[in-house]
Structure 1
Amino acid sequence: MTPQARALLPFVLPALLVGVGSSLILLLLSLVAERLQDLLWDTLPDAVGVSGTSAGWIVGVLTAAGFVVGLIVWKIPGHAGPDPATLGLVDPPLPVRVLPGLALAVVVGLAGGVSLGPENPITAINIALAYTLGMQAMPRTPAAEWVALAAAGTIGALFGTPVAAALILSETMVAPDPRPLWDRLFAPLVAAGAGALTTVLIAHPTFQIDVPAYTGPHWGDVLSAMVISTAAAAVALCAVYAFPHLHRAFRQLGNPVLMLTVGGLVLGVLGALGGHLTLFKGLEEMKELTAHAADHDAGDLLLLAVVKLLALCVAATCGFRGGRIFPAVFVGVALGMLAHALVDSVPPALGIACAILGVLLATTRQGWLSLFTAAVVVMDLAVLPLLCVAALPAWLLVTGRPEMLIEKDDSGAVEAGHAQ
């Protein structure tokens, strides 16, 4: 066995434990959120004789969710972590005292119909736990190793495959390291594989939507792909530019209870306008949208996309804890279906994949993640060459522009984030 192989072996068991643990925490918090969601949106409205999809119920539940999360942020020790608008998908470990409040906040937000996904806060929880426990068990291990293991395990669990983790980590590993890329990714891939396999065996998750298979590629599809991805990126950039202004407006309210209650009320109004498909993280809703595509005309699809994008911005700036990838994917699905509704020669699978690509490039600024997610949602390898081409003009549009992130300056104040 070579010295390089001997150096990698000690991380196999920790990586397996971190991967499985990351998946179990994700599944546990998701299960609790789903049970609370059933109570709020099915059991309670049935008990009082109203529809869980009525405008009044949507506004009431989301406003109440904002109030409860505001109390959690205000009163529970740790305040559910830093301002979520300042955090990305993978950040330095949080103190353990923050985690109970953060877990409560994300469960209430997910169950309450807030347009955010679980990825950011659950990744933060797993990173904090892996770092704290790992440094006690193997104190000589660099802190970055535990961050990478937990991030990879969680991302693998979220997407049900270790490929997503490898692609994301290849973009985030920026520290100088003389080791080959696969040596650096070895332990994180073990964690990602363990997390993905645990989730798949227990929950059988899938991102795939129900759309006709793509029969191309054709020459005309090349132009369509580039136009759709660039147009979707431009639409998402509108939200990116609005992000710091909305954040500043909510911060003017001062108290987190007031910020989140007002934010919940705004989300409720948006949800009443867009309907139940614009609520929650968007994964199940995008499947429902594509399964009943014939029920939605171009105007309806535009409304769904705009409302969901606005809801994403409001939720992420008023203080709700959650990630932006899942709702952004829903926006991409709606915009891709809109492209097909406007020009029926555009294949639905191609339109949806390219629109997802454009929206994610603008909102995450992660190329590999955007390509991977777009391909996985339509689950059609025939669109992959076109996605690689469509990414080029969309990336030219978004690169160098502000990110959907609020950065802290040296004084601790926050300011609009800029592309690095």
Structure 2
Amino acid sequence: MNKRFQKGLAVSALAAMVVAPFAQPVFAIEAGGSGTDLGKAEGADTTLVLKKDLTVQDLDSDYVPKAPDVSFKYSVTNGEAGKFTSKQEDKTEQVYEVKAGENGDLIKVNNVAKENTINFSGSDTVKSGKVTKDISLDFSDVEKKFTSAGIYRYVITEGNYTQTDRADLSTALPQTGAGEKTRYIDVYVEEKAGGGFEIKGYVVSRTDTSEGKESGFTEEKKEDGTTPDSNKSSVYSTYDVTLTKKVAGAVTNNAGYTFTVTLPTDDTATYFYQKSGGSESTVSSSSSTTTFTETLKKDESFTLKGLPVGTTIGIVETEVQGFKVPTVKIDAGSEEDMTGWAKTGIGYSDADADATDVVVTNKKDGSILPPTGILMTIAPFAAMVGLGAALIALFAKKRKNEA
């Protein structure tokens, strides 16, 4: 290889990283760096660190839920040869040839060859609504095998998440779309002055045309720029339930009214819990059916936060002698209010798939139920719900952003 060709190739490789920012947002990553750290790490020239974001959000409040127990597997393979075009502003287009990756099975994913798993759990620290993990790719064994300079392409693929507990996360944490599970890694290789070849940098893209530069499998927003896109990134959503006790008429039960709550099926989940006037605490599920009881007096309430969207809780009020069970009615409201919501009715065993603020009213036996009934104010439904002896209400919330 003559020196003129060597210099030309080096200039072309450098130009690919320099001019790309003018075509689209770019993460041109030097050896040893990541999409957020563009510096060259001393002694780590053959390591590329990608990021994996798991967004966690509560749809009803500013409560920050704990991350679910899930795992993502990542595997690296050789990419195919091809080309991409980059155009600097006011300059002509330049076409760059990309070679097929070589020895991809030697790349270590977090210290394990070819593939490895990243785990998330409720003990992870949530920052700015996300849990972020590193995907460290070690190219040191691959670098030793290069026999020529150029741009070499590799592909890293994210598998569907898996879980070991019994939680139903199918709605709360949708699997990302099939077209969002791969990233293309272009590795820039140059000839060393003393002989041999070395990696000089990386460019990570969403597509094989090098469009959509990335720093890994990070959070993506919808077109509004604020809502996380669960099709393009991993988004875990929860909801809250508030139950308020009302008693109609002059007579009341001074001892209070006891409710038994059945939590969603989950081996390890912990939820926020607070009774009106009380301090914040938590309740946890276990490997078997988990219930707890709470006694509410007139006008008292309790709130549960961090329930996975799509799961249900059961609420049973213990019978109090002398009080009758109210009737159940529904006021569906206007069609505009219902846009984007399930239009199912309300019954004693399905209080409303989207109802999360519930008022339970007991009437003194023999009294007349007022025309307005028992008001449960929610959006988009304003419903009247009553619970009496051993009457179970199930509450489940659907993802608002799937409308």
Please classify the TM superposition score into its range, dividing by the shorter chain length: under 0.3
Which protein is richer in strand relative to its size? 2
Report which of the two has the higher share of helix: 1
* Higher Rg of the two aligned structures: 2
TM-score normalised by the chain length of structure 1: 0.23
Structure with greater contact order relative to length (CA < 8 Å, sep ≥ 6): 1
